[in-house]
Amino acid sequence: MILKFLTWMANRHLRTKSGDRVPCPLCCLKHIGQARALMLEARKGYPNSFWFALGHLAEAEDEVLHMSQDLASLIREERKTLERNPGYQVDFDSLVENVSISANLDPTKFLRGNMP
Ligand SMILES: [Zn+2]
């Protein structure tokens, strides 16, 4: 199932004429998820993970900038708040929900094996 999903993800990305990958809301969700996992690690005693989490949030912003400036700004605000205050609890669930709604994605479909 996971392999099927990853293969589908890799094949669904469009390329520009110059070969750059077109930004993708699913990759945004992946970066938000990775940032959450890294923040949990950071708070378990792996402080370097904090910086990696910030990087993933920045990547998440880039993935939706073409789709919605407001959405990218929402993620950016969470990232900048976390950067100023490492104890800040990012509302990862809210970010995922906002991206999913904006991109018209239903995450429960993935759990049933139905790709959008
Ligand atoms: Zn993607």
Strand partners, 15: 21
Q: How many domains does the chain have?
A: 1
| Beta strands, E only, the chain | none
> What band does 2 get if pLDDT is binned at 50, 70 and 90?
low
8 vs 53: which has the higher pLDDT: 53
In angstroms, rounded to a whole number, what is the distance separating the alpha carbons of residues 103 and 67? 8
**52 CB-side CA count, 13 A:** 15
Residue scoring higher pLDDT (5 or 93): 93
- Per the CB < 8 A criterion, the answer to whether 38 and 30 are in contact is no
- Is a pLDDT exceeding 70 seen at residue 1? no
Report residues near ion ligand 1: CB below 5 Å: 24, 26-27
pLDDT at 108: 75
76 within domain boundaries: yes
Q: Which domain holds residue 102?
A: 23-110
- The pTM (predicted TM-score) of the whole model is 0.82
Using the mean position of ligand 1's atoms as its centre, give its distance from the Cα of residue 79 in Å: 20
DSSP 19: S
Domain assignment present for 9 = no
User: Residue 22 above 90 pLDDT?
Assistant: no
Name all contacts of 85-89 with Cβ < 8 Å and 24+ positions apart: 86/42, 86/50
What does residue 115 show for φ and ψ, rounded to 5 degrees? -85, 145
Residue 8 lies in a domain: no
Q: Is residue 105 part of a domain?
A: yes
Ligand 1 centroid – CA 45 distance (Å): 30
What separation in Å is there between the alpha carbon of 28 and the centre of ligand 1?
7
- Residue 18 three-state SS: coil
Residue 106 clears pLDDT 90, i.e. is over it:
no
Residue 2 lies in a domain: no
d(CA 25, CA 102): 9
Query: Residue 22 C-alpha to ligand 1 middle, in angstroms?
Result: 8
Q: Is the pLDDT higher at 4 or at 75? A: 75
Among 11-15, 43-47, 62-66, the minimum mean pLDDT is found in: 11-15
